Structure 1
Amino acid sequence: MFGLTPFNRRENNLARRDPWGIRSIFEDFFDDVFFPGFFAAGSSIRADIRETDKEYIIEAEIPGARKEDIKIDLQDDVLTISVQRNEVINEERENYIRKERRYGSFSRSFYVDSIKHEDVKAKYNDGILTITLPKDENRKSKGHRIDIQ
Structure 2
Amino acid sequence: MKKIPMLLAGMAPLCVLAQGSVTIFGVVDTGVAYVKAGGKSVTALTNSGASYSRLGFRGSEDLGGGLKAGFWLEAPLSGDTGQGLNPATGFNFARRATVSLAGSFGELRLGQDYTASYYNPAWFDPFQGTGIGQPTAFMMLGSPIRIGNAVSYFLPRSLGG
The verdict on a shared fold, with TM-score over 0.5 as the criterion, is: no
The structure that has the greater radius of gyration is 2
Using the size of structure 2 for normalisation, the TM-score is 0.28
> Higher relative contact order at CA 8 Å, sep ≥6: structure 1 or structure 2?
1
Using the size of structure 1 for normalisation, the TM-score is 0.29
Higher normalized helix content (fraction of residues):
2
